[in-house]
Each structure stands twice: as structure tokens, then as C-alpha cells.
């Protein structure tokens, strides 16, 4: 979801703690009224799916549908209203959209290769800042997407500890645009009243429209179907063999369960890592795809584009101590089981998430 206008909310931000209009529980959002920005996108539409399965249909979806196929993510979902992003400012200010118990802000430019820094600053920083201020002023629980890209090369660790924010050095402008708001919330004194989610490598249904930003599972499914192989980037660091670079891969169904747990836990505020807690190699991921398709693994290593070599993360792994400490105790789906579910139930059948199905 890409915003072309900045929201300018004139309501002053209140400093008192929020009083939510309706009680929300991790598995029951029946009485909640929710705004989901980026709601037609990958994680956004998955959240609408998860809310539907938890009894919530009083949802306003905001996005920019544009000319791609992400509108298809909405066809099976149940929600009360849809708003184009260009109209959100006016309708919130005028009160036409009414009050919300929860704002799930997933709308952003998520392209890690985007080079227009001004564009990213407006979309990912300024918009988030203004919507956070509006949410706090209007006593809505505000949950927003930060990113594991804020951790850079991981030299300062990957702990969701706000005291270490000033030491982080993102490797690309996308990560920096997310980091800017994390810093703003901390320095403005309201990070402890909102929830920021540092999503790691999330994959799963409803990502078809993302182009080059699709997960390797989605890309490799097409490669195997067409050519019988999966292509992986070579390594340019001696500490990592080709294909042995490691990422924290997380199934989107686990991702949204973690997100809604934190949204419904009033005492859980600040930054939280959203990942599996276990780093796995690209070879592991590729082998899981081949297994799901009942095919023999054939992997080809290719050159990494020079434009991203110095911005590439070789290792990511979420520290989940804060998430677990908030009371989230559900097991994380294994990489192999998650890939099998995604490939067999969605990619092979060309299906998207449907609230009538697990």
C-alpha cells in the first residue's frame, strides 16, 4: 500500500492512557471496531481473515487497490466498509468513519529496493506518525508494522529493546523509514502506549501481488513448476556457504496470531519481534518446497545483483522473549509444515485465505 498524501490531523494528542471502548481478547474480537490500513495487502488482508475467524466483521479496510490483483485478497473477507487511502484523511477528520477500538496500520511501501528516500519518508514515516497521533487522541489502540530491516546487519543484536534503538543502523532506506518512526515514538514519549511489530521474513497466502517482494516460497513454486529448479543467491561472505545464509522465516498464520494477541493485551506495549525465533537457511526453505511438491531438490546458485550486495542481511533471528513474556504461548509452526500448508492448500490450488477455512 503506497500513500501519496500526508495525513495532517489537527486533534491534539492526549497523554493519558487509552480507555478502549470494547474489551478485546486474542481469540474474540466480536465487539471491536477495527481500521486496517493496507488491508488488501499481504499481512493486512491476513489480519482481516484472522479477525473474521475471531468474530469481527465491523472492519474498515483502507488501501490503494490500483491496477494489480490484490483486490482478489478481499473477495472472501467480511468487512463493513472500504476506503481508498487518498480519502482516509478527510473521512477521519470529519468523523465520517466514526470511532475505532483498534487501528492496525500495515499500509506502507514495503519494497526493500525502493530508492526514492523522499517517497519512503512520506509513506512510511510521516503517514504513520500522523495516524499514531490521531489514534492516541481518539483513544484507539494503535498497532503498527515496523520491520526486522531496522536491525541492519545485526551487529547490535536483534532484541526488541527500545533502549538500543539509537544504536541500530538499517542497511536500506526502507528499513530506515521504519526506524524513523520507532525513534519518533520513543523520543515523543508514547512508544509505551502503542505496539510496534518488527516483522521478520513472513510468507504465506495472499502475497501473489507483491512482485519481486514475494517470498522465496512463492517465487520458487513457480520456478519448480516451470523449470524444475530453484535459484538461490550465492554468498559473498566466507562465513556463509552458498545458500547457507540464514533468515527467520515465519508463516503468516502465526504472524497474525501474534499480532492480534498483542493488540488485545493492553499491558503489552512498545516494540516486539514477530518471528519464529529460529534462523533457517535458504537451502532449508528450498528443500521444504521440493518436499511439498514431491520433487527431487535441484538448486542452482546465481550471482546476487551488485545493487543489493552491500545491503543484504546474511543472518536474522528474532528474540521472542518479550513476545513470550506478554503471554503468547502458542507454538510456532515449523518451517516444513508451514511450507507444506502454503504450497498444498493455496499455491497448488490458486486459493487465498478464506475465513470459512483454517
Q: Which residues are catalytic?
A: 174, 210
- Report the Cα 311 to chain-centroid distance in Å: 20
Cα torsion through 347, 349, 355, 358, rounded to 10: -80
The CA distances from residue 237 to 150, 151, 283, 312, in Å, are 21, 19, 16, 11
Look at strands 195-199 and 141-145 and give their pairing.
parallel
> What separation, in Å, do the N-terminal and C-terminal C-alpha atoms of the chain show?
26
Q: How many CB atoms lie within 10 A of CB 135?
A: 26
Amino acid at each position: 500500500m503506497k500513500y501519496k498524501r500526508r495525513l495532517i490531523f489537527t486533534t491534539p494528542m492526549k497523554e493519558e492512557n487509552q480507555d478502549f471502548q470494547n474489551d478485546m481478547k486474542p481469540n474474540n474480537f466480536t465487539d471491536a471496531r477495527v481500521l486496517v490500513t493496507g488491508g488488501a495487502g499481504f499481512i493486512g488482508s491476513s489480519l482481516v481473515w484472522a479477525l473474521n475467524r475471531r468474530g469481527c466483521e465491523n472492519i474498515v479496510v483502507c488501501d490503494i487497490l490500483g491496477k494489480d490483483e490484490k483486490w482478489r485478497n478481499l473477495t472472501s473477507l467480511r468487512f463493513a466498509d472500504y476506503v481508498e487511502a487518498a480519502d482516509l484523511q478527510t473521512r477521519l477528520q470529519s468523523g465520517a468513519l466514526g470511532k475505532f477500538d483498534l487501528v492496525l496500520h500495515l499500509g506502507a511501501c514495503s519494497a526493500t529496493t525502493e530508492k526514492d528516500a523522499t517517497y519512503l519518508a512520506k509513506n512510511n514515516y510521516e503517514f504513520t506518525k500522523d495516524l499514531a497521533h490521531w489514534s492516541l487522541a481518539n483513544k484507539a489502540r494503535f498497532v503498527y508494522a515496523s520491520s526486522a530491516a531496522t536491525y541492519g546487519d545485526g551487529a547490535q543484536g536483534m532484541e526488541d529493546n527500545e533502549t538500543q534503538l539509537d544504536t541500530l543502523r538499517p542497511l536500506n532506506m526502507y528499513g530506515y523509514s521504519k526506524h524513523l518512526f520507532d525513534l519518533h515514538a520513543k523520543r515523543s514519549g508514547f512508544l509505551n502506549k502503542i505496539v510496534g511489530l518488527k516483522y521478520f521474513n513472513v510468507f504465506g497466502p495472499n502475497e501473489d501481488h507483491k512482485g519481486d517482494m514475494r517470498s522465496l516460497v512463492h517465487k520458487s513454486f513457480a520456478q519448480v513448476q516451470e523449470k524444475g529448479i530453484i535459484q538461490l543467491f550465492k554468498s559473498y561472505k566466507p562465513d556463509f556457504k552458498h545458500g547457507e545464509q540464514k533468515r527467520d522465516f515465519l508463516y503468516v498464520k502465526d504472524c497474525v496470531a501474534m499480532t492480534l494477541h498483542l493488540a488485545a493485551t493492553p499491558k503489552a506495549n512498545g516494540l516486539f519481534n514477530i518471528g519464529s525465533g529460529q534462523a533457517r537457511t535458504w537451502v532449508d526453505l528450498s528443500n521444504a518446497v521440493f518436499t511439498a511438491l514431491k520433487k527431487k531438490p535441484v538448486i542452482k546458485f546465481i550471482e546476487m545483483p551488485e545493487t543489493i550486495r552491500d545491503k543484504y542481511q546474511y543472518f536474522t533471528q528474532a528474540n521472542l522473549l518479550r513476545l513470550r513474556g506478554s503471554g503468547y504461548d502458542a507454538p510456532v509452526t515449523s518451517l516444513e509444515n508451514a511450507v507444506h500448508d502454503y504450497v498444498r492448500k493455496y499455491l497448488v490450488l490458486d486459493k487465498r485465505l478464506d475465513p470459512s477455512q483454517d
